[in-house]
Every structure is written in structure tokens, then in C-alpha cells.
Amino acid sequence: MKPRYIYLIAVFAAALDQMAKWAVVSRLSLGSPVSVIGGVVDLTLVHNPGGAFGTFQSSTVLLTVIALAVAVAIVLLVRRPANFSNLAGTALGLLLGGAVGNLIDRLRFHYVIDFIDFHVWPVFNVSDIAIAIAMMLLAWQFLVVERSADKDAKN
């Protein structure tokens, strides 16, 4: 996958995240859930100064530095001459877009805006979804695709 497509995926993911957050912030009150799917999914505006799943609540600066480092590392990796598979390229784009989406919040507000609430899982946002999908795609790439290619090369 060409770098421009990786960056396009990243821009799309970060923009979708920021548009969703804007819509939620402009329509919801902090902590007041709005039912989307009767009792299963709510939109609940939450300010999360910590990391995923409510961890590292007093580490906003550290989490900002980590998100920035991840974004820079992906940009540097993508700039190197390499031929990324569509799967790996999509994962890198989603990871970069998710990191940037949450980084924008941390730099603007010193917390991340979360709003998707399944009640059995901590409240999350579109960037978190992009990051989770990216991690699943990378796991598939390394654990299934590359192992299969290595196995075929040995035969």
C-alpha cells in the first residue's frame, strides 16, 4: 500500500472521530446518557483524562507524549521505502488516525472525549475503535498472514 493511502485512512479516521465528538459535545450534557439502542447502547458524554478503560487517570502528560511518539513513529515508518500489504497499511492508517484523534483532544482539553457506552465496557470513542481495529488487523497480519507465508516458503 502506498503511503498516501495510509495517510488518507489516518485523516479519515481522525476526522470522523473529531466530527463525532463535535456532534456529541454540541448536543449532550456531561454524564447524562441518551439511549440509542434501548438499554444496550447509550451516548454518554465523558471527559477521560486517563488512558483506555479508565487507567492512568493522573497521567495526561505521559499519555500525550506516548500518543505523539506513536504518531511520529508511524509517520517515520511509513516514509521508509517499504511495501506494506493492504492489511498492514490499513492498520497503520487506523492506528495513526486513532492516535491523532485522541491526541487532538489531549492537546485541546487535557482529556479525551468519550461517548459510546455499552454499560459492560468503559465508555469509548471513534478513535478507540480505530485503534482496536488496527491492533486486530496487525495481529492477523503477524499471526496468520505472515506465518502462512513463512510456512509456504519452507515447503
pLDDT at 22: 98
- Rounded percentage of the chain residues whose pLDDT exceeds 70: 91
pLDDT band at 118 (very low <50, low <70, confident <90, very high): very high
Full-model pTM: 0.89
Tens digits of per-residue pLDDT, 49-86? 877 656 666 677 888 999 999 999 999 999 987 788 99
Catalytic residues: 114, 128
**Quick one: pLDDT at residue 60?**
79
| Whole-Å CA distances, 10 to 4, 49, 64, 91 | 10, 23, 18, 9
Question: How does pLDDT run across 132-146, given as a tens digit for each residue?
Answer: 999 999 999 989 877
